[in-house]
Amino acid sequence: MPTLLETTLNAVQSHRLAGISLPATHVPPNYAGYSLHNLVHSAVTWLGGQPSGPGLAPAFHEALPGGYDRILFLLVDGLSLSLFQQMTADSRLSALWQPHLTDSVQGALTSVFPSTTATALSTLWSGTLPAEHAILGYELWLKEYSMITNMLTHSPAAYFEPAGIRRAGFTPENFLKVPTLGTQLENQGIRAYAYMPEHINLSGLTLMLMGDVCRVPYRTISDLWVTLEDQLAARPGERAFIHIYWGDLDELEHKVGPSDRRNPMEWELFSRTFLDFLTRLSRKPQKTLVIMSADHGQIDTSPADCISLSPDERLGAWLSMLPSGESRAPYFFLRPDAAAAFQQHAQKTWGEKVSLIPRELALTSGLYGPVQPSAQTLERLGDWIGITDERTYFWWSTNKEDKMRGRHGGLHRDEMIVPFVAWEI
């Protein structure tokens, strides 16, 4: 009989979207029980609450029946399923991980689209789909502020401004147009916590999504696990959803690429403290579910994969503004009557490296979720979405250095497929 990992990986890899032809290397989000969107609703169910949307496929619930007092949800930024499997197959890491994996429930999930932190965390912390919450990428055109904005820092995309766009009246806690998870859980008697690295505990994205939860900043990995262990000991009867975010792996991948040997070394350092924490947690009496997953994976890129838009002077005649979204999935806003000339130029210049998807098809296909898009989504999506191939990315900034070697945001399987590993304790 196939394992849960085999069954779910097949469901993820075989999924297709109506009307959109993708390369064999690409995997679209599967919101029908196999995505991060479904995971958050299953977590609510497992805690005895009433979810506001569809949960994971029945196979997950057959393996994990529920009735837990608390859920610890570890989100490892940038950890694709393939990278997790490669790193845990390493001789040193295999000896460390295999005893714990034997006692775990393993599956495969897809990220959302675009496969990026701002969009994935907005889905997890609202329980809504990208088409609903409208946080559709790293950089977005915000019509109400007449600005393309960095959605992690809430600063102008063209340059970093410490005050962000607050000077224009922006308030992160009130920006999202859908209810956030913290309030949804609190209304059902479930306490929500978020353990965040100290340097992003007060970031724009954190305040937007987690302004209504108890946030606990941590400085180092040892600080994280000791503080968390102390909290669990101090509140033994509390029903809680505890989110733990670790972002060092993602930062390293961006710098050196996911295939660099630094990544398993960093993963080993983290794993030793995490798995030691799991061992100590198993001695506690409360019924706990620990889930490890990721917001997205990454792919290796090099300067040879770049489509630089700055030298392309003809594009300015057709674009009404600079692209936004992701370097692996840019949004193009066109001037009136420019569509035909833009398409022709793109086909001639970019060829098969880029598939241009019209906004209407992207929405009706379910790429952003099988729901009616919000008004904000319609404003922030370009007229055309560029779906890049296995390694291609765009670069349009004139005042920033293109130095990242690991990227995400697109539909490559290593960007989209993330692990699901759970332990009942």
Which residue's structure tokens are 């560029």? 386
Task: Give me the pLDDT at residue 304, please.
Answer: 97
d(C-alpha 141, C-alpha 377), whole Å: 10
Instruction: Please report whether residue 321 resides in a domain.
Output: yes
Instruction: Please report whether residue 156 resides in a domain.
Output: no
233 and 307 part of one domain: no
Task: Give me the pLDDT at residue 167, please.
Answer: 83
d(C-alpha 377, C-alpha 374), whole Å: 5
223 and 307 part of one domain: no
Instruction: Please report whether residue 310 resides in a domain.
Output: yes
d(C-alpha 86, C-alpha 102), whole Å: 17
126 and 23 part of one domain: yes
Phi, psi of 249 (to 5 degrees): -65, -45
Task: Give me the pLDDT at residue 159, please.
Answer: 84
Instruction: Please report whether residue 144 resides in a domain.
Output: no
317 and 285 part of one domain: no
CATH of the domain at 95: 3.40.720.10
Residues in the chain: 425
15 and 52 part of one domain: yes
Domain count, the chain: 2
208 and 61 part of one domain: yes
Task: Give me the pLDDT at residue 300, please.
Answer: 98
β-pair type (406-407, 299-300): antiparallel
Task: Give me the pLDDT at residue 92, please.
Answer: 87
Contact 78, 298 (CB under 8 A): yes
Q: In terms of residue numbers, what domain contains 390?
A: 303-407
Task: State the CB neighbour count (10 A cutoff) for residue 356.
Answer: 16
Instruction: Please report whether residue 284 resides in a domain.
Output: yes
181 and 272 part of one domain: yes
Quote helix, strand, coil % in the chain, to nearest 5.
Answer: 40, 20, 40
Contact 34, 202 (CB under 8 A): no
Instruction: Please report whether residue 140 resides in a domain.
Output: no
9 and 60 part of one domain: yes
Q: Which helix (H) or strand (E) holds 417?
A: strand 417-424
DSSP 3-state of 229? helix
pTM: 0.97
d(C-alpha 30, C-alpha 47), whole Å: 24
Alpha helix (H) ranges present in 90-201?
A: 91-102, 117-124, 130-133, 181-186
DSSP 3-state of 406? strand
Render each residue's pLDDT in the chain as its tens digit; 425 residues.
789 999 999 999 999 999 999 999 999 999 999 999 999 999 999 999 999 999 999 999 999 999 999 999 999 999 999 999 999 998 889 999 999 999 999 999 999 999 999 999 999 999 999 999 999 999 999 999 999 999 999 999 988 877 778 888 899 999 999 999 999 999 999 999 999 999 999 999 999 999 999 999 999 999 999 999 999 999 988 999 999 999 999 999 999 999 999 999 999 999 999 999 999 997 777 799 999 999 999 999 999 999 999 999 899 999 999 999 999 999 999 999 999 999 999 999 999 999 999 999 999 999 999 999 999 999 999 999 999 999 999 999 988 889 999 999 999 999 999 999 999 99
202 and 295 part of one domain: yes
